[in-house]
Structure 1
């Protein structure tokens, strides 16, 4: 038996959840968005971090004009990295203007049942009957730790998303496994915090993104392709700006795009900060890992087949995120069993709906269907629009859009 009812319940208040809620409320639906706005970004990303995405590609999706990141910060230019704190503040401002009434709670269970089709249980104990549920939990539940490291205790091995304060490692030797932005920036921030980081990367060498050009000549644009939320190039523009077309590609091609578009590389502005304080070993494949005294001994193999042992006090796996519906324990076992998946990721319709009617997935969980842009904030507007318009078409009653705050409709939104 439910305590309340809602047209839609959104689990998660990050960029995808907030964007979807803004579009749904603008269409007049009764929406409950569960989660503190931008919590994962504020609590699980390291202090001192900068976004890798460009300012124009760091906007949440809004149904009205004037709410993009560059509307809020009109002086931010191409090539100017955004501090984590600035982005979190922008996301929370967006929530306060477009979606008042976000709820600082957690969805602990979603199951079939109730008059609306789903019964959603919150951490507060409230049970909500809902016609529709949108899973917008971001990347947090999908943190990937290699099997070789997965069996060790958390005080010896952790994922890069588990740390807000890297000062905890001051004076310690820390191995960082990975070769992408997360690994390289974590290593630099560890060094800034007084630790001794050692990057262990499988790649034969570190790759770095090029410095973006704010103004490009007509010839450069014709030769290099248009600029998009994922970078520069004709194909890159297609993956970033037309994800609805990506869905029609063969599954194997889509997975390759997710894997190979924007491969592991460091941001250009980080390169000078990766100095002699950070030890870097490339071409190292992780093998046996074991506890040793009060630390960890990692055995790696180099390109010649030689085995090398690295001893540290802690290992941080900056090894990314892999979507897997089985890790979404908020969904009841019965519901998870009914969701059709491929290699763990949900198979979605053109409108982000899973095989179970009324259940939608946004963000990283949708990447295997819509391509690499779903790994980034830039994909939030496309996902929100598709989901919202599909839900409104299937909702029996349409309310007048009275739930929106008047300030959200005013064109003159403050920029500072």
Structure 2
């Protein structure tokens, strides 16, 4: 059975794109588990770093904001900039949006996507084969976890939540590490909040290792009077990246790479400072140069800018080292498709409608950050991306 458009992924970007396409009258099939990365790739107890006003899933129908969800379900309230949103509540919000606007979601996995004539053939893990004239990739962070090469080289079988080294995305319940000495690599929100959650879950000792020379930093509380602040931060320097994402793709590739990696910089949320200070040990200004596993325990060789080094031994290393777009990780895309995708600045080169160099193949969310900037790594980017993508797809395939 063929349909004009297939959307792969049912997180905020997939649901938002599907809702906009349907509003334009484009028949859509949507595949995936609703909010799966949020449900399984974030430890219980985590809180969103973005304010409620910047956390809504953009859809073309009124009545589906986070505040509307609170009014309909009694959750929250999550209305003030100082209200903190538990990840569990946000998952329920996304599922609520899905049930109301994308009720036909097919909770199956797409095994492969290949060219077929002037369209695409999708194979599902249910055994079905489906055709589509256009495909929207909205798989989010799935498969994009990044490990430092020095750490990855010590793990022939890869990171694992039950092994000596893991990535932060592999944990849903950090209490499994209670009673153990844990080293957390990184200085961003994921690292600092994971360290706090580990301490609160009963880890014997927690140490954060950060390569930057400065002390780990935290943001400042929001001020509601700054009405023009960027939705994923409060620094005025980020205003253009948030509200003029379309111009980002016109910047030179080196500039896009630099801004993509540095904005926002590594730091913790304002509300995390009190829970972190004096409770988590920090080793700063030390770069990982080598990692080994000795008698089942990870051993990290560190070196500072002064050339001085040392070893850190732990029961477990948790790498909260973020995500980086890797087209090779989208292994459900056939080899012919992947080799036809032109990449720039660490992601697929996209046109103004989020279309790739392969006609009919579109990307939204994290893969689009290389073309449209860091706002595409946050839910607030759905407001920019989804209407443009839907209009482009509708013109070509609706």
TM-score by length of structure 1 reads: 0.89
Alpha-carbon shift at residue 343 of structure 1 (Å): 5.1
Q: Secondary structure at the match of 1:297?
A: strand
| Aligned-CA RMSD value | 1.4
**Does the Cα contact within 8 Å between 2:256 and 2:345 map onto a contact in 1?**
no
User: 1:353 aligned to 2:377?
Assistant: no
The answer to whether 1:158 aligns with 2:161 is no
Displacement after TM superposition at 1:191 (Å): 0.8
Asked if structure 2 preserves the Cα contact closer than 8 Å seen for 1:229 and 1:241, the reply is no
Match of 1:393 in 2: 395
Range that drifts further, 15-24 or 62-71:
62-71
Shift of 1:252: 1.8
CA distance in 2, matches of 1:378, 1:112: 32
Cα distance in structure 1, aligned partners of 2:243 and 2:5:
27
Q: 1:252 aligns with which of 230, 251, 254?
A: 254
- 1:384 and 1:130, CA in 2 relative to 1: closer, same or farther beyond 3 A? same
Q: Distance in 1 between matches of 2:242 and 2:345?
A: 23
Determine the C-alpha separation between the residues in 2 that align with 1:232 and 1:207: 15
Counterparts of 1:305 and 1:176, CA distance in 2: 22
Q: How far does the alpha carbon of each residue in 1:304-341 deviate from its partner, in whole angstroms, 9 at most, with x for none?
A: 22111100111111111110111110100111011111
Aligned counterpart, 1:80: 83
1:406 aligned partner: none
Q: Which residue of 2 aligns with 1:202?
A: 211
> For 1:125-155, what per-residue CA distance to the aligned partner results, in whole angstroms no more than 9, with x for missing partners?
1111100000000012111001111131431
Choose which of 5, 8, 25 in structure 2 pairs with 1:8.
Answer: 5
* CA contact 2:350–2:356 (8 Å) conserved in 1: yes
Counterpart in 2 of 1:182? 190
Shift of 1:382: 1.4
> Residue 239 of structure 2 aligns with which residue?
237
| Aligned twin of 1:311 | 313
Q: What CA distance in whole angstroms lies between the structure 1 residues aligned with 2:346 and 2:262? A: 19
Residue from 262, 265, 275 that aligns with 2:264? 262
Alignment of 1:401-412 (within 5 A): none
Looking at structure 2, the residues matched to 161 and 240 of structure 1 have their Cα atoms a distance apart, in angstroms, of: 26
Match of 1:323 among 315, 322, 325: 325
Question: Is residue 82 of structure 2 the alignment partner of residue 103 of structure 1?
Answer: no
Question: 2: distance between equivalents of 1:141 and 1:134?
Answer: 17
**Are 1:197 and 1:278, in contact at CA under 8 Å, matched by a contact in 2?**
yes
Say whether 1:68 aligns with 2:65. Answer: yes
Q: Which residue of the partner structure matches residue 175 of structure 2?
A: 167
> Equivalents in 1 of 2:262, 2:36: separation in Å?
29
Unaligned ranges ≥5, structure 2:
72-76
Q: Which moved more, 1:255-264 or 1:88-97?
A: 255-264
Answer whether contact 2:69 2:96 (CA < 8 A) is retained: no
CA distances 1:214-233 after superposition (whole Å, capped 9, x unpaired)? 235xxxx7xxxx21212234
Q: Does residue 212 in structure 1 map to residue 209 in structure 2? A: no
Deviates more, 1:372-381 or 1:243-252: 243-252
Could you say which residue in structure 2 is the equivalent of 1:408? none
Name the CA distance, whole Å, in 2 between partners of 1:210 and 1:73.
26
Q: Is the 8 A contact 2:41 2:172 kept in 1?
A: yes
Rate the CA distance shift 1:70–1:255 in 2: closer, same or farther, 3 A. farther
Picking from 92, 95, 98, the partner of 1:89 is 92
TM-score normalised to structure 2 length: 0.93
**Pairing 1:284-299 to 2, within 5 Å after superposition:** 284-299=286-301
CA contact (8 A) 1:34 1:107 kept: yes
1:24 maps onto 2:16 in alignment = no
Q: In structure 2, how many angstroms separate the alpha carbons of the residues matched to 1:178 and 1:110? A: 35
Contact kept in structure 2, 1:230 and 1:237, CA below 8 Å: no
Separation in 1 of the partners of 2:147 and 2:262? 19
In 2, are the aligned partners of 1:69 and 1:90 still within 8 Å (CA)?
Answer: yes
Equivalent residue for 1:44? 41
- TM-superposition CA deviations, 1:155-189 (whole Å, max 9, x none): 11111011001111111111110000000001111
